[in-house]
Amino acid sequence: MSGRIPLRKRLLVRLLIAAGLIAVCSVAATAWLAVETTTRALREEQGQVLADDMDVLARLSGYAATHSDWKGVERTVRELSARTGRRVALTTPDRTTIADSAPRGTSLPLSAAATVDPLRTDTYSERGAQLGGTDPRVVGPYRLTAAERAKLDTLARTRKNCFARYGIDTSLTRMPSGRPVLTPADGAADPTYVPEGCADGRLGTPTPTEDKALEALQEQAGGCLTRVGLPEDIPLALGVDLTGVSSRAPALGPGFAKSGDGKAWRAARECLEDARRAQLDPYVAPAAELFLGDGGDTPAVRFDMSPANKAKVVGAAGLVLAVTVAVTAVVATRLVRPLRALTAAAQQPPDRHVRVPVTTRDETGILAAAFNELTERRERLEAQRKAMVSDIAHELRSPLTNIRGWLEVTRDGVVEPDPALLASLHDEALVLQRVIDDLRDLADADAGTLRLHPEPVRCDELLDQVAAAHRVAADAAGVTLRTALEGTPWLDADPVRMRQALGNLVSNALRHTPADGTVTLAARRDGDDVLLEVTDTGAGIAPDDLPHVFDRFWRAEKSRSRRTGGSGLGLPIVRHLVVAHGGTADATSEPGAGSVFTLRLPQPTRQDDPPGRASAQGAEAGQGTA
pLDDT of residue 250: 66
Least confident stretch, 2-6, 68-72, 376-380, 534-538 = 2-6
Please say if the pLDDT value at position 173 is more than 60: yes
Tell whether the model's pLDDT for residue 352 goes beyond 80: no
Q: Which residue has the higher pLDDT, 186 or 420?
A: 420
422 in any annotated domain: yes
Residue 509 lies in a domain: yes
Mean pLDDT, the chain, whole residue set: 77
In a domain, 621, yes or no: no
Whether residue 438 is found in the same domain as residue 458: no
Residues 456, 600 within the same domain: yes
The closest alpha carbon to 337, from 309, 365, 314, belongs to: 365
Q: Are 391 and 458 part of one and the same domain?
A: no
pLDDT band at 464 (very low <50, low <70, confident <90, very high): very high
Q: Where are the beta strands (DSSP E) in 387-536?
A: 455-458, 480-485, 490-493, 518-526, 529-536
Same domain for 463 and 435: no
Q: How far is CA 531 from CA 468, 518, 584, 600, 609, in A?
A: 20, 19, 10, 5, 17
In whole angstroms, give the CA distance from residue 540 to residue 542. 7
Q: Specify whether 493 is located in the same domain as 458.
A: yes
d(CA 400, CA 355): 42
Instruction: Please say which residue of 263, 283, 303 terminates a domain.
Output: 283
* Residue range(s) defining the domain that contains residue 56: 1-117+287-347
Residue 557 is predicted with a pLDDT of: 57
Return the percentage of the chain with pLDDT > 90, whole number. Answer: 13
Residue 131 lies in a domain: no
Is the domain of 334 the same as that of 409? no
pLDDT given for residue 297 in this prediction:
40
Give the pLDDT band (50/70/90) at residue 172: confident
Say if residue 292 is in the same domain as residue 428: no
Is pLDDT at 548 greater than 90 in this prediction? no
> Among 14-18, 126-130, 167-171, whose mean pLDDT is lowest?
126-130
Residues 190 and 312 in one domain: no
List Cβ<8 Å contacts ≥24 apart for 168-176.
Answer: 168/193, 168/195, 173/244, 175/136, 175/244, 175/248, 176/65, 176/136, 176/137, 176/138, 176/139
Q: Do 158 and 264 belong together in one domain?
A: yes
Same domain flag for 326 and 343: yes
Give the per-residue pLDDT at 194. Answer: 79
Question: Domain check: are 455 and 601 in the same one?
Answer: yes
Bigger pLDDT: 620 or 34? 34
Q: How many CB atoms lie within 10 A of CB 30?
A: 14
Whole-angstrom distance, CA of residue 444 vs CA of residue 446: 5
Give, for 114, the enclosing helix (H) or strand (E): strand 114-116
Q: Which residues pair with 602 in a beta bridge?
A: 529
pLDDT of residue 296: 42
Mean of the pLDDT values across residues 68-93?
90
When divided into structural domains, the chain yields a total of 4
Query: What Cα–Cα distance (Å) separates residue 137 from each residue in 58, 66, 176, 264, 389?
Result: 11, 7, 6, 29, 114
Q: Are residues 149 and 242 in the same domain?
A: yes
Choose the final residue of a domain: 387, 418, 445.
445
- Give the torsion sign (CA, 241, 243, 248, 251): negative
* 221-242 pLDDT tens trace: 888 878 877 776 776 665 544 4
Residue 317 host element (H or E): helix 307-346
- By the 8 A CB rule, do 540 and 590 touch? yes
